[in-house]
Amino acid sequence: MENIDGKLFEKFLKNSELPVFISDNEKFIYFNDNFVELTGYNKSDLEEMRLSQLFPDLNILGKIDDGKARVLTNNLELKIVNISRFLSSDNSSALFICRDETELNLKNIESKKNREFLDQIFSSLDDGVVVFDKDSKIINLNNAALKYGKNILKKIIERSLSKLVEDSSVVNDCFVLSEEYKGRNLYFSVNIRSILIQNLFEIYILVINDLTRERELSIELDKKRIILEEKLNIMDRELLLAKNIQSEITPNECMVTNRAFILTKLVTANSLGGDFFTTESMDKFDNIGIFDVSGHGVASSLIVMMLNSILSSNEVKNLESVSKLFLEIQNRFKNRIPGKHFIASTFCKLFDNNMFFASGGSYKPIIIRRNGVVEDLGENTFPIGLIPNPKFHQFSTTFEEEDIVVLLSDGVVESSNSKGELYKIERVFDILNLHKEKKPFEIYKNVLSDLNSFTGGIENCNDDITFMVVYLSKKRKYIKIESFDNLIKELPKKSSEDFAKIKSLIQFPVNLLKVPFKGEYIYKLELGRRVDMESDDYLVLDDSIVF
């Protein structure tokens, strides 16, 4: 060190951008400002310190070797520096140039952690991942790819590479390997991506998704779906047959008994319904009633057919007491109604000027009296079959010619709109009061029209619906009509003009029923066949036109 120009050396030390220090016998005899900044100590502290206090990694001789060393700074922070030893004339003194590599070391540690993390993700992926070069030589692959074996991977790589075109670096593909593998066809979805490394060489990353099990399940599901569709078609045909049978035991929508003119609307929520109604004339009275079997579908429809059989019995339908009729039905159904099924009903027996009735779990009869009073009648009791040994209570009221009785099942008042709001019995009363002076078929039309508008279509309701309007009148006149001209003569002028529109639909001779109503007539034209038509001026019910 004696041969070095002192001024030049001093200039080098001061202007060096790197931390520099000179030591002699483990003492600092010189250091520049950059070294002071590196250590965090002030100059006076460094002048008093020994090397071992600053550098904890001295060799066994107490000297500093070339290479990386740790520096314990003033704030007790360990820094990593690269030390180069120069101008050493003996083992006791030397010049050292330092390079702070703390951040670089941290980056290397972070990079290593990142690589370990990525390797962990790579190995845990469910999809197979293969990295290979342009010669199809596999560079790396994860555990999910290993399971396919060498031959399968080779075929997948060849197929995937064949899909790459010159102007594309990414390809998505789905394919099946035609060869069977352990008795199975293999189905794959692949994604291959080419990557250029430092503009020098190209590698490919292939992601393999095994669709074999998914495809096999799909094929099996398709087979089962076909079988299910065949069974559903058979069931649909059987249900249609059952519905036709059920419709045969249900009375027509427009019926005439000895003491009443009756209009009824029955809509089932399913192919087979649990609602049922009956209208029949006996010697002394007329039987008129609606029944609502709880639930829907096949079980409820079978109970309806059993109920119809019971009501067809002379012993039952000739009972003059409604409460005894309910009790007889309960006894005949005893231990025969499955599960929790029961029957709600409102039933009336019309004598000449008296009506005996009972409501078992259904809505009470509503009467529109000729003087304009609208009221419900009697009290409700338990449904048939709900409890053992029930007491059914019968009520009675007098009526006059041209009074109107309304019967309805809970499906009417419990129908809901798109907001989930119920139709409610109060709304029924509002419509009845609004149209109470009109003819029975107009009351019938207006209630159903309002219900249809409220629900967005009563055919879409979740419960069976039965709505019945009973016009109490023993007066009626039947006329046999031989021609259209004869029909026109019997009709009021407005109706004559309306019927001219449907002249071609009427096949003469036909029967015309005229029922008096407040100085006018209610007409029922019996066509003898069903007519598929709609009109705002009259009702088309089954094989009749009512106006």
Q: Where are the domains of the chain?
A: 6-105, 125-210, 250-474, 476-547
Q: What is the pLDDT of residue 128?
A: 87
**pLDDT tens digits along 264-273:** 999 988 767 7
Q: What is the pLDDT of residue 166?
A: 46
User: Is residue 394 within 8 Å of residue 358, measured between CB atoms?
Assistant: yes
Q: What is the pLDDT of residue 116?
A: 64
Q: What is the pLDDT of residue 433?
A: 97
DSSP string, 54-109: H-TT--TTS-PPSEEEEEE-TTS-EEEEEEEEE--SSSSEEEEEEEE-HHHHHHHH
- 3-class DSSP state of 49: coil
Q: What is the distance between the terminal CA atoms of the chain, rounded to a whole angstrom?
A: 132
Q: Which stretches of the chain score pLDDT less than 50?
A: 1, 60-61, 166-167
Q: In this structure, are strands 520-526 and 539-541 parallel, antiparallel, or unpaired?
A: unpaired
The CATH number corresponding to 6-105 among 3.40.50.720, 3.30.450.20, 3.30.1950.10, 3.40.5.90 equals: 3.30.450.20
Can you give the length of the chain in residues?
Answer: 547
**CA distances for 307 relative to 240, 246, 301, 413, angstroms:** 20, 12, 10, 24
- Per CATH, which fold does 125-210 belong to? Beta-Lactamase (3.30.450)
User: b/e for 22-43, b at 16 or more Cβ within 10 A?
Assistant: bbeebebebbbebbbebbebee
Q: Read off φ and ψ for residue 366, nearest 5 degrees.
A: -110, 130
Domains 125-210 and 250-474 share a fold: no
- Over the chain, what is the mean pLDDT? 83
Q: What is the pLDDT of residue 503?
A: 77
| Cα separation, 305 vs 364, whole angstroms | 24
Residue with token string 């994604």? 191
Phi-psi region of 441 (alpha: psi -120 to 50; beta: other; left: phi over 0): alpha
Q: In this structure, are strands 354-360 and 380-381 parallel, antiparallel, or unpaired?
A: parallel
| Cα separation, 347 vs 310, whole angstroms | 15
Q: What is the pLDDT of residue 119?
A: 67
Class of domain 250-474: alpha beta
DSSP class of residue 501 equals G
User: Is residue 34 within 8 Å of residue 20, measured between CB atoms?
Assistant: yes
